[in-house]
Amino acid sequence: MTDDIKIPPRRPLTLKDVSEASGVSEMTVSRVLRNRGDVSDATREKVLAAAKSLGYVPNKIAGALASSRVNLVAVIIPSLSNMVFPEVMTGISEVLDDTPLQPVVGVTNYLPEKEEEVLFEMLSWRPSGVIIAGLEHSDASRAMLHASGIPVVEIMDVDGEPIDAMVGISHRRAGREMARAICKAGYENIGFLGTKMPLDHRARKRFEGFTEALAKEGVEVMDQEFYSGGSALKKGREMTQTILERSPDLDFLYYSNDMIGAGGLLYCLDAGIDVPGRIGLAGFNGVELLDGLPRKLATMDAGRREIGREAARIIAGRSDGSITETGQRVELTPKLQPGETLRRW
Asked if residue 51 lies in contact with residue 33, where contact means CB atoms within 8 angstroms, the answer is yes
Span of 169-177, 193-201, 241-249, 284-292 interacting with a copy of itself by CB under 8 A: 284-292
Tell me: does residue 125 bind DNA (CB under 7 A): no
Q: Given the complex with a copy of itself, which of 1 and 66 has the nearer CB atom? A: 66
Give whole-number Cα distances, 292 to 64, 296, 299, in Å. 47, 8, 14
Q: Which does 271 bind (CB under 5 to 8 A by kind): a copy of itself, DNA, none?
A: none
Site string for a copy of itself, 260-279 (x = CB under 8 A): --xx--x---x---------
Tell me: does residue 344 bind DNA (CB under 7 A): no
Give whole-number Cα distances, 17 to 28, 170, 320, in Å. 13, 55, 31
Query: Contact with a copy of itself (CB under 8 A): which of 104, 199, 221, 222?
Result: 104
Q: Given the complex with a copy of itself, which of 71 and 189 has the nearer CB atom? A: 71
Q: Which does 42 bind (CB under 5 to 8 A by kind): DNA, a copy of itself, none?
A: DNA
Q: Given the complex with DNA, which of 67 and 109 has the nearer CB atom? A: 67
Tell me: does residue 147 bind DNA (CB under 7 A): no
Tell me: does residue 240 bind DNA (CB under 7 A): no
Site string for a copy of itself, 232-251 (x = CB under 8 A): xxxxxx--------------
Tell me: does residue 70 bind a copy of itself (CB under 8 A): yes
CB of 163 to a copy of itself, least distance (A): 13
Tell me: does residue 125 bind a copy of itself (CB under 8 A): yes
Q: Which residues of 58-71 are buried (b: 16+ CB within 10 A; e: fewer)?
A: beeeebeeeeeebe
| Cβ atoms within 10 Å, residue 224 | 14
Give whole-number Cα distances, 172 to 31, 255, 334, in Å. 52, 15, 11
Asked if residue 156 lies in contact with residue 89, where contact means CB atoms within 8 angstroms, the answer is no
Q: How far apart are CA 183 and CA 180, in angstroms?
A: 5
* Residues in region 179-208 near a copy of itself by CB under 8 A: none
Q: Given the complex with DNA, which of 24 and 214 has the nearer CB atom? A: 24
Tell me: does residue 124 bind a copy of itself (CB under 8 A): yes
Tell me: does residue 320 bind DNA (CB under 7 A): no
List interacting residues with DNA (CB under 7 A). Answer: 11-12, 14-16, 24-28, 30-31, 33-34, 36-40, 42-43, 58-59, 62-63, 65-69
